[in-house]
Amino acid sequence: MNVGPVGRFTFSGGVHPPENKGLTCDSQIQPGPAVKKVAVMLSQHIGAVCRPLVRKAEAVQAGQKIGDSDSFVSAPVHSPINGKVKEIALRSHAVLGRGMAVVIDALEYNPSKRSYFKLDDSFDVDNYTSEQICEAVRNTGLVGMGGAGFPTRVKIEPNPRLPKETLIINGCECEPYITCDYRIMLEWTRQIIAGIKLARKASGCSKVFIGIEDNKPRAIEVMNIALKDFGKDDRIKVVPVKTKYPQGGERQLIKAILKKNVPAGGIPPMIGVVVLNVATTAAIAEAVVSNLPLTHRVVSVTGEAIANPGNYYVPIGTSVQDLLDFCGSVTQKSAKVVFGGPMMGIAIADLETPITKATNAVTVLTKDQIGRAKFARRQTPCIRCGRCLQVCPENLNPTRIAHAVKNNLLKVAERYYMSACIECGCCSYVCPANIEVTGYIKTGKIFLARQKKKMAQ
Amino acid sequence: MLSDIRVSCSPHISERFSTRSVMIDVIIGLAPAMAAAVYFFRMHALMLIVACVTSCVAAEWLCNLIRKKPNSLDDFSAVVTGVILALSLPPSLPIWAAVIGGVFSITIGKMVFGGLGGNIFNPAMAGRTFLTVSFGVLMTSWTVPASIIPEMPAVAQENTLDARTQATPLAWSKLAIKNELGADIYSEQQFMATLTGEVGGCLGETSVIALLIGGIYLLIRRTINFHIPLAVLSAAFVFAGIAYLIDSYVYVQPFFHLTSGGLFLCAFFIATDPVTAPLTRRGMWVFGIGVGALTMLIRIVGEYPEGIMFSILIMNAVTPLIDRFFKRIPAGGSPNV
């Protein structure tokens, strides 16, 4: 990569893991495998689980709504292919462990026919009202595609109690290996800008910042050129930010660009900010302009153990096995298959696990990448070196929290602000004793949630 | 084909640091000081280092055996304890005393607290304290470096005191305070002597240059932070300076305090022992300032000529309090739950 603009903005803490983006950063977004069967999870997002709207043996069309919920914080799911419902059964879920899924046998599916929509020149943001945009975003089942899967409509809909001023588009992609957002920025630039304008109109924001890490100079350049071509707008600005993990965390990005801290345990709207991922922004354009539901997404299939790594536009519900077979399968005997990147991704045990709307990558890590000690999970006692404190982007005391959880002292963990942890994994990454600091904190959060649930009863 | 799928919680990659690499870094950082010790005090220094390291390693191995715990020797922490203990011993100490010190350091200083990471006090300093209390005479008799030519005067050059037996600069300055002798003998030559290490003193503490090289190595490797060394040295300098300003006839120059005695060894290698130092930045400052100030207090007012050992132990004891007092506030402010 050539030397581009240098990002001055950043946050305190963070780590610099090896990027390894070279594997897939030059591979264009290609159509994915011709799947025979998909399993569309009924819970692909944060919020209420969808009810299935179809029955067993029912024929479904591509784009047909197959699950919905009346709850406000939720998003419907749609069938990506023409086919017949085989069953509605439990499938492995990357985040939840297990969840109900609608399994659909494909009648015919030609991946090269279903490509991302082209934006014609007649697009004008004034053709759509704010309500129309929100409705379209809700109906097409849009959720945050950066990893968390928060329903987008809830994010962008104007809320009189929390007025929004600033829209931040997250093009950082700070996780190692993953390049899907980078490719989207290069190839679907116009759609992203259309999406930004739509999202801005819907949410009532005025200023827009596009945060891109300075290890992607081409993306910064392309975005700047497209902004110029697409009609001048002074209120949309590309901001190069420093390359550092977790720069793409929304709290860290807000801190870097606006120099503001989101209150601990709070959400960005509390300080008038909305953060959207670039893939989500592009999907907003697709949803509003062509009214196509979110049934496909770009997934980076990457890692040294993959024969043909690349970025693929695949139907949601494709199993990991299909995806890996399509990419020339795995060359190693033992490996870790991770949904997402190596820092925050979730290792899966079942290769039939379907990808969801929030899966941005499938990373296959070999023993070499993971490191021998980490692979065998050998730990030594904490030597209190304090590295985890230095890298914590939220300025916490990770080792204290982790050891409080380990000794079942949830009160102590809370006193050290366990709930303010964003689970970025920096503390485990630097730990010389190989302690799963993040793992303990996550466990502690789950214990605490269970405790509170019991107390409420 | 993929047959062995591993699962664990994220993150799945890690920095290639380990507890062992941290400890090996410290040993490498101590290497110049060890070399200087062997150069100045010859064979006996080498034997002391070997004796301390061997006794520490053997004690840890035995403790693990008795407690039926897995062997923890491969983290090299026992070796570090042994080396630091050896470097803080006087060069004429008999080998058997060094062995007793090493065994005490590991068993009482570390293993009774549950091994690495559990100890409250710096094991090497605990061992040295035990030796000081048990064998007071042996622990305060000094020999001059072998490299000093007999004709060349030692630090206490123009003084009536005999430089051969009262060779450490600090012991001499203590006597100066007690007997109200003039302390303004601080010449360029003596300053150079304390820098290179051609003075009497403990094995590893005489050569400031060797310690500085090792300390800078540790700083570059990020094994230690600059906070504690800077806090210790600057606090010592400031407090020595205050005493000097009060009475410059009796009290020696602050530079003299900085370069003589174990201050550099303490600042870079003993106070920075992560297990017994605070975790937070502000805590590190408080800890370092405490060590520096207490050292000066003991040196200037107290009975002992050197105060490193006690000040480290005292500050180790308050470390949990410091950690609790200087808690970190999350980036987003403390949540009002």
Q: Does a structural domain hold residue A145?
A: yes
Residues B181 and B275 placed together within one structural domain of the fold: yes
Q: Are residues A339 and A299 in the same domain?
A: yes
Q: What is the CA radius of gyration of chain A?
A: 21
Nearest to B230 by CA among B185, B266, B176: B266
Q: What is the CATH number of the domain that holds A34?
A: 3.10.20.600
Same domain, A36 and A167: no
Asked if residue B216 belongs to a domain, the reply is yes
- Residue B45 counted as domain residue: yes
Question: Do residue A345 and residue B225 have CB atoms under 8 angstroms apart?
Answer: no
In a domain, A5, yes or no: no
Q: What is the pTM of this model?
A: 0.88
Rounded to a whole number of angstroms, the distance from the CA of B220 to the nearest CA of chain A is 15
- How far is A376 from A100, CA to CA, in rounded Å? 33
Contact A391, A15 (CB under 8 A): yes
Nearest C-alpha of chain A: how many angstroms from B333? 6
Chain A residue nearest residue B284, CA to CA = A386
d(CA A419, CA A413): 9
Residues B40 and B84 in one domain: yes
**A414 and A383 together in one domain:** yes
Please check whether residue A22 lies inside any domain of the structure: no
The count of domains in chain A is 3
Do B176 and B130 lie in a common domain?
no
Nearest CA in chain A to B224: A385
Residue A252 maps to a domain = yes
Range of the domain at A434: 379-456
Amino acid at residue number B162: D
Q: Considering only CA atoms, which of A133, A124, A122, A67 is closest in space to residue A100?
A: A67
Mutual angle of helices A180-187 and A278-285, in 10-degree steps: 40
B173 and B309 share one domain: yes
The answer as to whether B60 is a domain residue is yes
Q: Do B9 and A439 touch (CB under 8 A)?
A: yes
**CB of B70 less than 8 A from some CB of A:** no
Has residue B242 been placed in a domain? yes
Q: Which domain holds residue B80?
A: 19-140
Closest-CA residue of chain B to A177: B13
Domain with residue A217: its CATH number is: 3.40.50.11540
Q: Which residues of A touch B7 (CB under 8 A)?
A: 336, 347-349
Count of beta carbons in the 10 Å neighbourhood of residue B112: 13
Q: For the segment A122-133, what is each residue's pLDDT rounded down to a tens digit?
A: 778 888 888 889
Same domain as A364, residue A450: no
**Final residue before a domain boundary, out of A238, A263, A290:** A290
Residues of chain A with Cβ-Cβ distance to B14 below 8 Å are 370-371, 373-374, 428-431, 434
Answer whether residue A10 is part of any domain: no
ipTM, two decimals:
0.85
Are A218 and A122 part of one and the same domain?
yes
Chain B residues with beta carbon closer than 8 angstroms to that of A385: 22, 274
Per the structure, the count of domains in chain B is: 2
Which of B4, B15, B116 to mutate to test binding with chain A, by most A CBs within 10 Å of its CB? Answer: B15
pLDDT tens sequence for chain A (457 residues)? 445 567 778 888 899 999 889 888 888 998 888 888 999 999 888 888 899 999 888 899 888 999 998 888 889 999 999 999 999 999 888 888 888 999 999 887 887 777 777 777 777 888 888 888 998 999 998 998 887 888 988 888 888 888 888 999 999 999 999 999 999 999 999 889 989 999 998 988 888 999 999 899 999 999 999 888 876 677 888 999 999 989 988 899 999 999 888 988 788 888 999 999 999 999 999 888 888 899 999 999 998 888 889 999 999 999 999 998 888 877 777 788 999 999 999 999 888 899 999 999 999 988 888 876 677 767 888 999 899 999 999 999 999 999 999 999 999 999 999 989 999 999 999 999 989 999 999 999 999 999 888 887 6
Say what the alpha-carbon torsion angle A113, A118, A120, A123 is, to the nearest 10 degrees: 130
What is the per-residue pLDDT for B163? 40
Amino acid A118: pLDDT: 78
B111 and B209 assigned to the same domain: no
Q: Of the residues A259, A290, A321, which one is the last residue of a structural domain?
A: A290
Query: Does one domain contain both B307 and B235?
Result: yes
Structural domain includes residue B38: yes
Q: Is B277 on the interface with A (CB under 8 A)?
A: yes
From chain A, the residues in CB contact with B72 under 8 A are 380
- Claim to verify: residue B198 and residue B289 sit in the same structural domain: yes
Show which of A370, A387, A416 is a domain's final residue.
A370
Examine residue B6 and state whether it is found in any structural domain, yes or no. Answer: no
Measured CA to CA, the distance from residue A312 to residue A29 in angstroms comes to 5
Q: Domain with A384 in it: what CATH number?
A: 1.10.1060.10
Q: Model confidence over B68-87: pLDDT tens digits?
A: 888 888 889 999 999 999 99
Q: Smallest CA–CA separation between A453 and chain B, in Å?
A: 16
For residues B97 and B191, membership in a common domain is answered with no
For residues A276 and A152, the answer to whether their CB atoms sit within 8 Å is: yes
| B9 at interface of A, judged by CB pairs closer than 8 A | yes
Q: What is the pLDDT of residues A255-270, one digit of tens each?
A: 999 988 898 878 888 8
User: CA nearest A377 in B: which residue?
Assistant: B8
> Do both A315 and A432 map to the same domain?
no
Residue A23 falls inside a structural domain: no
Residue A104: strand pairing partners: A38, A85
